[in-house]
Amino acid sequence: MICEEYVKVRAECEKNGWKVDDQEFDSLIAYAERKAEKTGNAEIYIPCLLSDVIREYVFSKTINSVAQAVMGVLI
């Protein structure tokens, strides 16, 4: 279930250039929820964590794409 707070976090991330599609967003919410649960943090912590999870995901995805492009050129 996607709560209103998560949608606000996504909108804020998108304003900052961190865009994810709906399927990625659903996966990232689940990841943030699992991460919060494992660390013993309350559900109220998830929106704060979600923005970091989105940012880290987009950054990693970008780095991987660049690395794959470089490797393609080198091969």
Reported as a pLDDT band with limits 50, 70 and 90, residue 1 is: low
pLDDT in tens, 8-42: 999 999 999 999 999 999 999 999 999 999 888 87
**In the chain, what are the domain boundaries?**
4-74
Q: For 14, how many CA atoms within 13 A lie in the half-sphere containing its CB?
A: 11
| Of the candidates 31, 29, 21, the residue with the CA atom closest to the CA atom of residue 1 | 29
pTM for the model stands at: 0.84
Q: Take residue 35 and report the two structure tokens written for it.
A: 């991460």
